[in-house]
Amino acid sequence: MDNPHPKRVEDYTTAALFLIFINMLWIFGMIWAKFGLVAVIVTGWAVNFLITRLDHYRASREIKWSRSDA
């Protein structure tokens, strides 16, 4: 069976980040209209906190523990 190598795919990182920005913009706008600016600040802080926790978790999972058998 012949397994051809997959072709190179396009990088959609910029498009994904732009769409996340647009979605967060309207979500924060709705929170602001419904609950006020303080709720937007608290929500932004909570999102930042969760992203930081996720980053620390992923960084801790990438640690390569070296074992010296010497």
User: pLDDT higher for 57 or 66?
Assistant: 57
Mean pLDDT, residues 34-45 taken together: 97
Average predicted confidence (pLDDT) for the chain? 88
CA–CA separation, 47 and 50 (whole Å)? 5
Looking at the chain, the whole-number percentage of residues with pLDDT higher than 70 is 87
Range from 7-11, 30-34, 54-58, 64-68 that averages highest in pLDDT: 30-34
Helix or strand or coil: residue 34?
Answer: helix
- List Cα–Cα distances, 15 to 1, 8, 12, 18, 19, in angstroms: 37, 18, 5, 5, 6
| 27: nearest Cα among 50, 44, 48 | 44
Mean pLDDT, residues 13-39 taken together: 97
Mean pLDDT, residues 45-60 taken together: 94
CA–CA separation, 54 and 47 (whole Å)? 11
DSSP 62: T
